[in-house]
Amino acid sequence: MKALLLPAIVGVGLVASAFQTGSPVVEAESCNVELTKAGQADWRGGFYYLANTDREGRISKLELRPPTSETLKAFIRLDQLESCVRRWQFSGAGPYSITFYAGTSGDALSRWTISVSNAQGSFRLVFPRV
């Protein structure tokens, strides 16, 4: 089965230049997210989560925001994506916006993007598909 691969971002090892003062991401791990049968066709798009974190930066609430929620369910295993994202650690308590741009067609064939932001800063990771 085909899958989306989310990259590893741990400490300052993989993308040291992205971890500047004020970065909302402390640690994120890589994982595979399986595509559904429909997801193996041509598709691309962005989807948006709102996450709330506790004092240690661990996610206490993760909510996929409309209108993408129903569409995304048709293409990827949301349970796998959300399980992965819940293991990420952020830079403290508060709300965070998490945006993904991925797919199997168009410009998503060459690169995928993950963006995380809060009131103190933002982090954007653009990585090529291999």
The pLDDT, as a whole number, for residue 60 is 96
Residue 105's SS3 state is coil
Q: Give the Cα separation of 47 and 98 in Å (integer).
A: 8
Going by pLDDT thresholds of 50, 70 and 90, the confidence category of residue 58 is very high
Q: Total structural domains in the chain?
A: 1
The pLDDT, as a whole number, for residue 55 is 93
* CA within 13 Å, CB half, 68: 19
Question: What does the block give as tokens for 59?
Answer: 């996610």
Gyration radius of the chain's alpha carbons: 14
Domain containing 85 equals: 3-128
In this prediction the pTM is 0.77
Percent of the chain with pLDDT over 90: 18
